[in-house]
Structure 1
């Protein structure tokens, strides 16, 4: 028994069957287990999962605690194997990745985790279209050292124990970056290898609806949550130096300060230039006006979220989440 694949899910009835089947197929030749960590689904996610004998199901006891960090931590809490792969309920795991990932970690004892190539399947939304375009630019020449494993990865459970917990239960996003920061600060390494890992079926909401959802659900406040979680901790330096959303948020705040100052001084030309310049820069970088407009709005939401997250109350991340066992593996 080697690997636990922990699948975190909340209302994933569209994709959960494919996710579970890919996980079951991946662990079958290696020995291991598949755990579904549910955060309180109200659709058919659990009903579908119960039809798979090989799947163990646990659920968050207090649905008020659900967020991205809590879902990931719940999956790890239920894991029993020396290696752990985190998979989202809207992902399909490539059957060949686990063997390649395990071989890499066995050969590189200083690495806490390894990931592979991520393919974004849904690109109608600008968010995921940009992600797909960025992924194409970042070719992986064999092995690349990274500071996070977005969209999941294979972790050495013993390495996680050295940093206390897998995911910060308070985070509404960026739980992989926060975990990577703690691992790097503790002396571990992370890597991506040139092997397909998952196909990701992202949200299909409209662009405006996605931004509004992030504000409504608390996702937008995640940058501030990550910074607050690092204050006074060993990984604070890593967060300050490597967290791009922090830089973006601070830059937007400075920009709005300059816009306000120019308005107070009555400098209409300067104000207009300040308002247009970031959009022109993003247009040049994104190559499309609609992508530039989306990034323009998103960066402002990041700045708002930075403040929101810094002010949110926190629960001790080391404290285990209360969970219920809904189904054991087997008939």
Structure 2
């Protein structure tokens, strides 16, 4: 009988001491029927995330260099240390919903043309604009049925990942799941979000503007531009552009607004400004708050600035493994 795990759960973390134990417990409850391993892929947390995860019996691997922290490196790090036939991707602020894993395994075993599946998502009441807006758009962000990518993770077939070379792009500060979905579909695979609960998520509690500053410092806002840069010259560039179209359109609009302003033609500037005013008013009416309308513009402007920044950011080779070390090692659980 093989000693290899059937499922590897990869949990990416950075300062997730508040929730990592609940994340591990929620996963382990559903893994008891399968030979498995739980890997916490940590980006050099400055709290005690690693110690808590190790005490829970997880294998803990960590980056060596803090400058390599980004959204894309986490699951790639977990993947490089994994052995399972299937890969369950989670974040350290999520809890896996009961029943998802059995449904996901059953679907993938009977649908070999699918590389990965996820499920429906539950979120708490966010305290800032980004997460409040995200909760309002859950059906758009996490649509059921066949989809172009699985935001928030999912259960993936290892053989499909091996076919495309790497799991997540270690150089992307965001949109790494979109980039993974693009490559899988280019390889002929499909992805599906099942009508079963997948995870519940704890939102960041930062105020809106503080959250944007954090996103800028961590370079998360550079994700759309980095995705486009990573796809440049590749057959899937149009797919990347489709995913980032809102940010790209708003970036072009802001550039047009800037040109109208510096041109000195007041009438031209007023004409170009009008769509922005209408957009703010529509958002304000929809959310019954002028502040929410203004926040939506500030949020889009921040992503536009990040897109430009990301376009000019050199990316690390996704096929080169990041330097890492194992700080806690556990065996296969049965």
TM-score, reference length from structure 1? 0.92
The structural deviation recorded for 1:163 is 1.1
Matches within 5 A, 1:198-237: 198-237=199-238
Q: Structure 2 unaligned runs (5+)? A: none
Larger deviation, residues 287-296 vs 60-69: 287-296
- Conserved in 1, the CA contact under 8 Å of 2:171 and 2:318? yes
Conserved 8 A contact 1:249-1:300? no
Q: Which residue matches 1:191? A: 192
The equivalent of 1:99 in structure 2 is 102
Equivalent residues in 2 for 1:1-331, closer than 5 Å: 1-53=5-57, 55-135=58-138, 144-240=145-241, 242-243=242-243, 245-258=244-257, 260-261=259-260, 264-267=264-267, 269-270=270-271, 273-329=274-330
Is the contact made by 2:175 and 2:227 (CA closer than 8 Å) also made in structure 1?
yes
Question: Could you list the runs of 5+ residues in structure 1 that have no partner in the other structure?
Answer: none
Q: What CA distance in whole angstroms lies between the structure 2 residues aligned with 1:41 and 1:255? A: 37
Q: In structure 2, do the counterparts of structure 1 residues 60 and 100 end up closer, same or farther at CA, with 3 Å as the change threshold?
A: same
Answer yes or no: is the 8 Å Cα contact 1:35–1:79 preserved in 2. yes
Equivalent residues of 2:126, 2:132 under 8 A apart: yes
1:86, 1:153 within 8 Å by CA — same for their partners in 2? Answer: yes
**Structure 2 vs 1, CA of residues 269 and 56 (structure 1 numbering), >3 Å: closer, same or farther?**
closer
SS of the aligned residue for 1:154 comes to: strand
Q: Which moved more, 1:177-186 or 1:130-139?
A: 130-139
TM-score (norm 2): 0.91
In the alignment of these two chains, the number of paired residues is 326
Structure 1 residues 25-77: Cα deviation after superposition (integer angstroms, max 9, x where no partner): 12112221111111101111112112123x11111122221110011211111
Measure, in 2, the Cα distance between the counterparts of 1:148 and 1:234. Answer: 17
Deviation, structure 1 residue 258:
4.0
